[in-house]
Structure 1
Amino acid sequence: MNIVGTVTNPDFLVAVLAAISAAAIVFTFGMQFSDKKDVKHRIKKVAIERERLRVDEISRLRGEDKNARKKKESSETVNKIVDRFDLKKAFADEQTTKKLARAGYRGPTAVTTFVFLRFVVPLGTTVLALFYFMFAFNKGGPLYLSITYAIGVGIVSSYLPVVMLKNQTTKRQQSIRSSWSDCLDLLLLCVESGMSIEHAFNRVAKEIAVQSPELGEELTLTTAELSFLDRRSRAYENMSDRTGLDEVKSVMTALIQSDKYGTSVGSSLRVMAEEGREMRMMAAEAKAAALPPKLTVPLILFFLPVLFIMVMTPALMSAFN
């Protein structure tokens, strides 16, 4: 059989192309049905998960949580210690609640726990350091020296809760800042499509929570405050205070001005979105411009010595030989 003749036969080529076309059509229709089936399966899973979360929330509100009693007892113990030694006057001020809120900790329980940690952590580390210096590091040495070292460790560790709180605040602000430009774009789309500002915040909170849970949480709280506060400006001010970011504060100020003077919210959001994109681009350019100076020290310490060795070693070997 002549294979070349068969392959080059026009009838054979037409049959092969027709078979490929039929297979492609069947495959295309089959993929559509499989995609619909997959979408139905995903919708069913989401419905089941939503029902489970609803049942858990109802159980929690009814007081059926198994760990609720233990948490309540521990919080009562902490409250008694804080009230007994009057720790809030010593370790808390007017800005403590705002700092905790910026780190994601809200309510009087957060303040009580933070004050309790600032009291307990230095004492615990002092005792542990005293045992370490007495029986391990400075074993057999003078006792006053071990006590001095332990007190020094306790003084240093007293700043540990503050440092951890600042670190948590920085991480939270970075997460909000990285997603804020996308949030403004989504808000602009929702407002221009005809949604009210409350519905726009609620919708964007659900969408942006996948990218930044912290920003989604803040938008959800703002949506709730827009519903029950007497003035919208208070909700906007509370969001700017909770985040502590200049970008958020400028947008909230623009929304307050729009609500006060009756200007277009969409126009304000469009201007702020453009400014947010420009600031994001400027920040990226600043990071790129700062890269060469940062690479100078590693280049001098690690690359240049190796380069000099590779260049000079053959010449030195030939000279000494």
Structure 2
Amino acid sequence: MVKRIEEAGFNLSDTAESEISKQLKAAGYLSESAPRVYTFVRLIMIFALPGLWLLAAWLRTEPPTLWQLYIGSAVLMVMGAYLPNLFIRAKADRRREEIVNGFPDSLDLMLVCVEAGLGLESALDRVGRELATTHPRISEMLTETTLLMRAGASREDALRKLGETAGVDEIKSFATLLIQSDKLGTSLATTLRVYSSEMREARRLRAEEKAHRLPVLLSIPLVVFMLPTMIGVIILPAIVMSIREVLPALQGGS
């Protein structure tokens, strides 16, 4: 559909297409046409949401005022423009979190394979097959890297492609580390062991950071919901006593 629209003369490319492409790759959309599809979906939502609102308003027995139609259409147009962006960011964050949390396990399996005598290509293939159920995203990336190597790509190109496909800084650093280890001839097992330990330490620090944020986050519902109730329970007897005793006394004295 996007191809037919562009052939008709309507350009769907964006001025910030490189940034959009990075966001889409981070969310798992790796197709070359993904940025144009994303722009097309945004255009549809910008016009579709206000159109549905106007249709619903027209079918009502009491149609809204012109000002209400204007405000509702403007709000829905803004929502149509930003909802796809929010969806892509949320999906990219979930994907990044899954990859970062599961990658230390894949490094441990890769370390076992390397210490057992397998080469880098065989280790990536074995780990990719083992993680197909527990960490499917990591399995897909490792399998793609293995297929690139078998298709004739060099290790450096395949590993750099792995970092670009992942869209995660930790994976890019890992790919660079493997490339340097392969060029310098250092021990691959030692490299994997050190990097796995660093990633587990980083994951532990992130978990501690989230745990330390919990008291602050819990204080918000406590203040919003419990504090007014407590104030009402404490003040209510005094209010009742004032209504029953103080106000009649004041009225009698006057």
Does the alignment reach a TM-score above 0.5?
yes
Q: Which runs of 4+ in 1 moved over 6 A?
A: 307-318
The 5 Å alignment of 1:247-258 reads 247-258=170-181
| 1:184 aligned residue (95, 107, 131) | 107
- Pairwise CA RMSD: 3.1
Q: Secondary structure at 2:153's aligned position in 1?
A: coil
In structure 2, give the amino acid aligned to 1:294: L
Structure 1 unaligned spans of 5+? 1-76
* Residues 153-197 of structure 1: per-residue CA shift (max 9 Å, x gap): 223312222222222211111111121111111111111111111
How far apart are 1:314 and its partner, in Å? 9.1
Mean Cα displacement is larger for which, 187-196 or 222-231? 222-231
For 1:139, the equivalent position in structure 2 comes to: 63
How far apart are 1:86 and its partner, in Å? 3.2
- Please say which structure displays the higher CA radius of gyration: 1
For 1:207, the equivalent position in structure 2 comes to: 130
How far apart are 1:147 and its partner, in Å? 4.6
Mean Cα displacement is larger for which, 207-216 or 133-142? 133-142
Return closer, same or farther for 1:313/1:111 CA change in 2, 3 Å cut-off: closer
* Residues 100-145 of structure 1: per-residue CA shift (max 9 Å, x gap): 2222222234344323212222121232222234454971633x76
In structure 2, give the amino acid aligned to 1:213: P
Return closer, same or farther for 1:198/1:128 CA change in 2, 3 Å cut-off: same
For 1:194, the equivalent position in structure 2 comes to: 117
Residue 84 of structure 2 corresponds to residue 164 of structure 1: no
% same residue = 32
Residue 184 of structure 2 corresponds to residue 261 of structure 1: yes
Residue 6 of structure 2 corresponds to residue 87 of structure 1: no
The 5 Å alignment of 1:68-83 reads 77-83=1-7
For 1:101, the equivalent position in structure 2 comes to: 25
For 1:173, the equivalent position in structure 2 comes to: 96
CA distance in 2, matches of 1:200, 1:292: 43
CA distance in 1, matches of 2:229, 2:34: 54
Q: Secondary structure at 2:8's aligned position in 1?
A: helix
Return closer, same or farther for 1:159/1:302 CA change in 2, 3 Å cut-off: closer
Higher relative contact order (CA 8 A, sep 6+): 2
* Residues 188-246 of structure 1: per-residue CA shift (max 9 Å, x gap): 11111111111111111122222221111111112122223532122222222222222
* TM-score, normalised via structure 2 length: 0.81
The 5 Å alignment of 1:228-247 reads 228-247=151-170
Structure 2 unaligned spans of 5+? 246-254
CA distance in 2, matches of 1:268, 1:137: 71
* Residues 283-302 of structure 1: per-residue CA shift (max 9 Å, x gap): 12212222222222333344
* Residues 84-113 of structure 1: per-residue CA shift (max 9 Å, x gap): 243333476123333322222222343443
For 1:43, the equivalent position in structure 2 comes to: none
Mean Cα displacement is larger for which, 164-173 or 308-317? 308-317
In structure 2, give the amino acid aligned to 1:79: K
In structure 1, give the amino acid aligned to 2:199: G
For 1:17, the equivalent position in structure 2 comes to: none
* Residues 42-63 of structure 1: per-residue CA shift (max 9 Å, x gap): xxxxxxxxxxxxxxxxxxxxxx
